[in-house]
């Protein structure tokens, strides 16, 4: 019985691939609508076949599709929807896909995380955004989520949003990110005091390590995108990619700016609560900041690097904008030769004093940051949400989509960031 279901599923999936290839080359609206209608029916039939296969008792045949539950290395997976491709698989990862009936029977907290991973839930969520008709299986999946805390972005879509953040933002891959529901306090220890040699007679001492508690709440970041009616005839895969690109790019730009310049929970002046940036949140003083006079010089950069203590220095990176990058390349030695060049031995990676530098135009003019950016913490406290409304775009035959992230971030230790500014 299971072998017969596998053969039927293979034929359905082959037809689905054929339609996907055809949709990439077709420019006719009527043909695209016909393809889309058949794709909807195929998705429903494929989901039902998979459910039937999962419910059969035969064990001699390997399951057609396997999906691994993964967790990012060194990060919590509490929200249950993060597994960007390329990260290491958790040691206790489960490889066999559960059926919808099995997922619904789980305790609610576990059920929601598993539900978001199901292909039936993914197709139901994305088709709902397009205003398409759902199959009975899809209706059941989306209704279960709505009745147990609300429908959230499916796992694969969430992965694409986080991946878009990593690709578009130059700072997001450098910081420490967590995915813990609600408000959190993360303990962060400094790395200055070394371990102490001791013997079995003498009591050990704790030294003077300090532990800072980073309190992170949740602030709303929203992006609105107007998308034409052409999105209605897209396949599920094409629509998912399109909506992630439209909304994810702009969300990543806002996150990038917040890491540097976020005004914090009570910014005032009509600004909304937001994460606290490095430039605005670090307490600057003689131990972590210095100045240059007219133009930045080589000795100024050497002095900045000296302020970052050695335990943090291996992780040190420079952040500066395009104008400051140009100023650095104008620094020359006594024989009028540029001091900073891109050397072929390190793959032409841009470096200053053997530390990588990143150009970010959210940095102000006449300022350079040097630091261990993994001491900036950002927590995503809720699953992202994507919502659709046709009313707002009624006059232009378009749909307004809104992407929402709930997150907070702030720097943990003042000593891990060094700032160089022009003297006023």
The full DSSP string for 242-276 is: HHHHHHHHHHHHHHHHHHHH-B-S---TTPPP-PB
- Residue of 404, 401, 405, 407 lying closest to 224 (CA atoms): 401
Quote the percentage of the chain above a pLDDT of 90: 30
From 88, 119, 152, the end of a domain falls on: 152
DSSP 8-class letter at 400: E
pLDDT confidence of residue 203: 55
Over residues 304-311, the mean pLDDT reads 94
> In the predicted model, is pLDDT for residue 252 greater than 90?
no
Over residues 295-312, the mean pLDDT reads 94
Specify whether the CB–CB gap between 368 and 324 falls below 8 A: yes
Instruction: State the CATH number of the domain containing residue 387.
Output: 3.90.1690.10
pLDDT confidence of residue 306: 96
**Predicted TM-score of the model (pTM):** 0.70
What is the total count of domains within the chain?
2
Specify whether the CB–CB gap between 44 and 138 falls below 8 A: yes
**What is d(CA 7, CA 5) in angstroms, rounded to the nearest whole number?**
5
> Residue 80 domain-assigned?
yes
> Residue 105 domain-assigned?
yes
Over residues 101-115, the mean pLDDT reads 85
**What is d(CA 74, CA 138) in angstroms, rounded to the nearest whole number?**
34
Question: How many other CB atoms sit within 10 Å of the CB of residue 60?
Answer: 6
Q: Which residue has the higher pLDDT, 102 or 8?
A: 102
pLDDT confidence of residue 72: 38
Instruction: Report which listed range, 283-287, 326-330, 399-403, is most confident.
Output: 283-287
Residue 149 phi, psi dihedral angles, 5° rounding: 120, 0
pLDDT confidence of residue 73: 35
Residues 109 and 12 placed together within one structural domain of the fold: yes
> In the predicted model, is pLDDT for residue 92 greater than 50?
no
List C-alpha distances in Å: 73 to 67, 119, 142, 312.
18, 25, 30, 21
Q: Which residues contact 107 (CB under 8 A, 6 or more apart)?
A: none
Q: Which residue has the higher pLDDT, 193 or 329?
A: 329
Residues 311 and 358 placed together within one structural domain of the fold: yes
> Residue 174 domain-assigned?
yes
Indicate the helix (H) or strand (E) that contains 418.
Answer: strand 417-422
pLDDT confidence of residue 181: 79
pLDDT confidence of residue 418: 97
| Token pair in block for residue 349 | 């990676």
- For the chain, the C-alpha Rg in angstroms (whole number) is 26
Residues 161 and 144 placed together within one structural domain of the fold: no
Residues 124 and 247 placed together within one structural domain of the fold: no
Over residues 225-243, the mean pLDDT reads 80
pLDDT confidence of residue 373: 95
> In the predicted model, is pLDDT for residue 131 greater than 60?
yes
Question: How many other CB atoms sit within 10 Å of the CB of residue 297?
Answer: 15
Q: What is the dihedral of CA 115, 118, 123, 124, to 10 degrees?
A: -30
Residues 65 and 134 placed together within one structural domain of the fold: yes
Specify whether the CB–CB gap between 363 and 345 falls below 8 A: no
Residue 195 phi, psi dihedral angles, 5° rounding: -65, 155
DSSP 8-class letter at 61: S
What pLDDT, in 10s, does the model give residues 253-290? Answer: 889 999 999 999 887 777 788 999 999 999 999 999 99
Residues 93 and 175 placed together within one structural domain of the fold: no
Across 203-212, 311-320, 359-368, least confident range: 203-212
DSSP 8-class letter at 282: S
Residue 194 in 3-state DSSP?
Answer: coil
Specify whether the CB–CB gap between 222 and 417 falls below 8 A: no
Q: Which residues contact 237 (CB under 8 A, 6 or more apart)?
A: 20
> In the predicted model, is pLDDT for residue 300 greater than 90?
yes
Q: What is the mean pLDDT of the chain?
A: 78
Instruction: Report which listed range, 90-94, 199-203, 256-260, 264-268, is most confident.
Output: 256-260
What pLDDT, in 10s, does the model give residues 44-74? Answer: 677 677 767 666 654 433 333 333 333 333 3
Which neighbouring-strand residues pair with 222?
404
Residues 355 and 254 placed together within one structural domain of the fold: yes
pLDDT confidence of residue 76: 37
Residues 139 and 160 placed together within one structural domain of the fold: no
Over residues 149-162, the mean pLDDT reads 85
The full DSSP string for 86-147 is: TSPPPTT---BPPPHHHHHTS-HHHHHHHHTT-HHHHHHHHHHHHTPPPPHHHHHHHHHHHH
Specify whether the CB–CB gap between 145 and 121 falls below 8 A: yes
> Residue 201 domain-assigned?
no
Residues 237 and 353 placed together within one structural domain of the fold: yes
> Residue 100 domain-assigned?
yes
> In the predicted model, is pLDDT for residue 414 greater than 90?
yes
Residues 239 and 188 placed together within one structural domain of the fold: yes
In terms of residue numbers, what domain contains 291? 153-194+206-424
Residues 388 and 265 placed together within one structural domain of the fold: yes
pLDDT confidence of residue 246: 80
Across 28-37, 215-224, 323-332, least confident range: 28-37
Beta pairing class for 355-359 and 376-380: unpaired
Question: How many other CB atoms sit within 10 Å of the CB of residue 224?
Answer: 14
DSSP 8-class letter at 204: P
Residue 367 phi, psi dihedral angles, 5° rounding: -140, 140
> Residue 200 domain-assigned?
no
> In the predicted model, is pLDDT for residue 142 greater than 80?
yes
Over residues 82-93, the mean pLDDT reads 38
> Residue 218 domain-assigned?
yes
Q: How confident is the model at residue 366 (pLDDT cuts 50, 70, 90)?
A: very high
Residues 400 and 293 placed together within one structural domain of the fold: yes
> Residue 199 domain-assigned?
no
């Amino acid at each position: 019985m299971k072998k017969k279901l596998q053969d039927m599923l293979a034929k359905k999936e082959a037809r689905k691939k054929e339609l996907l290839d055809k949709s990439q080359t077709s420019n006719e609206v009527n043909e695209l609508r016909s393809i889309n209608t058949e794709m909807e029916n195929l998705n429903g039939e494929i989901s039902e076949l998979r459910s039937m296969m999962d419910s059969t008792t035969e064990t001699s045949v390997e399951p057609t599709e396997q999906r691994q539950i993964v967790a990012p290395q060194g990060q919590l997976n509490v929200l249950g929807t993060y597994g960007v491709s390329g990260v290491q698989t958790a040691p206790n990862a489960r490889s066999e896909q559960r059926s919808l009936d099995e997922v619904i029977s789980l305790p609610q907290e576990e059920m929601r995380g598993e539900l978001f991973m199901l292909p039936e839930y993914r197709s139901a969520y994305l088709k709902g955004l397009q205003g398409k008709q759902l199959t009975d299986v899809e209706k059941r999946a989306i209704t279960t989520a709505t009745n147990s805390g609300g429908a959230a972005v499916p796992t694969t879509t969430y992965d694409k949003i986080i991946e878009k953040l990593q690709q578009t933002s130059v700072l997001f891959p450098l910081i420490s990110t967590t995915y813990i529901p609600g408000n959190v306090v993360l303990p962060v220890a400094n790395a200055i005091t070394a371990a102490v040699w001791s013997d079995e007679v003498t009591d050990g001492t704790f030294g003077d390590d300090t532990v800072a508690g980073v309190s992170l709440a949740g602030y709303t970041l929203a992006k609105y995108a107007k998308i034409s009616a052409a999105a209605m005839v897209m396949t599920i895969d094409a629509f998912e990619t399109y909506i992630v690109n439209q909304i994810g790019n702009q969300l990543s730009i806002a996150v990038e700016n917040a890491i540097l310049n976020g005004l914090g929970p009570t910014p005032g002046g009509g600004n909304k609560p937001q994460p606290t940036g490095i430039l605005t949140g670090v307490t600057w003083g003689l131990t972590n900041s210095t100045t240059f006079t007219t133009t930045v010089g080589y000795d100024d950069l050497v002095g900045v690097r000296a302020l970052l203590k050695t335990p943090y220095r291996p992780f040190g990176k420079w952040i500066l904008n395009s104008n400051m990058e140009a100023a650095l390349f104008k620094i020359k030695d006594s024989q009028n030769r540029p001091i900073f060049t891109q050397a072929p031995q390190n793959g032409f990676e841009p470096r200053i004093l053997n530390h990588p530098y990143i150009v970010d135009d959210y940095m102000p003019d006449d300022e350079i940051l040097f630091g261990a950016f993994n001491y900036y913490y950002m927590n995503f406290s809720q699953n992202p949400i994507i919502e659709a409304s046709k009313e707002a775009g009624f006059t232009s035959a378009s749909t307004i989509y809104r992407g929402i992230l709930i997150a907070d971030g702030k720097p943990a230790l003042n000593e891990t960031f060094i700032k160089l500014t022009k003297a006023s």
